[in-house]
Amino acid sequence: MLVAPHFLIGTAIAVYAPEAGPAALAAITSHFVLDSIPHRDTIGTTHINLGNIVMEIFDITITALIFWWIVPAHLRGYALLVGGAAILPDLLAIPSWFWPQLYRLPVINQLHSWHVDYLQDRNGSLNWFWGLLPQVLIILAVIWLIKF
Ligand SMILES: [Zn+2]
């Protein structure tokens, strides 16, 4: 999934769970639950292309604006950390761009295979409407939960 639904679910967890340990665990767990929902988040067959870079800049900008709008000022630091935990499984992919052997390491190999190959539909069969709809609904639900 895009950054916005993952990060904003983490934000909602932070707003309603004041203890960092359980909140971080719930945020990481939420990542895998959300990724198991059929979705589309990639243009083409790889993450590294101009279309995906532009889409991610837009995704991160929207995420930051919604975050700033819905999270009370006194919770922003904590919500940033818990939201970060919610996107942690995807952030673990970044070192592999520079060191592809990372995915050959024990545990990392199995986690990556489960996260990408098993949980997520990578065959591109979902069109953008159905691929984005669950993500937009999650974002709207988080806004409703926190703001209204
Ligand atoms: Zn993921």
Distance, CA 120 to ligand 1 centroid (Å)?
8
Around ion ligand 1, which residues have CB less than 5 A away?
35, 89-90
- What local confidence, expressed as pLDDT, does residue 122 receive? 63
Tokens in use for 22? 């359980």
Q: What confidence tier does 47 reach under pLDDT thresholds 50, 70, 90?
A: confident
- What local confidence, expressed as pLDDT, does residue 48 receive? 83
Distance, CA 6 to ligand 1 centroid (Å)?
8
Please give the average per-residue pLDDT across 9-17, as a whole number. 98
> What is the pTM (predicted TM-score) of this model?
0.92
124 versus 114: the higher-pLDDT residue is: 114
Contact (CB, 8 A) for 103 and 109: yes
- d(C-alpha 15, C-alpha 143), whole Å: 12
Distance, CA 32 to ligand 1 centroid (Å)?
7
For 39, 57, 88, 90, 102, the CA distances from 3, given in Å and listed in that order, are 13, 10, 10, 9, 22
What mean pLDDT is reported for the chain?
93
Lowest model confidence (mean pLDDT) among 18-22, 66-70, 98-102, 129-133 = 98-102
- d(C-alpha 32, C-alpha 23), whole Å: 15
* Structural domain boundaries in the chain: 3-147
Helices in 92-127 by DSSP H: which ranges?
A: 94-98, 108-112
Rg over CA atoms, the chain: 15
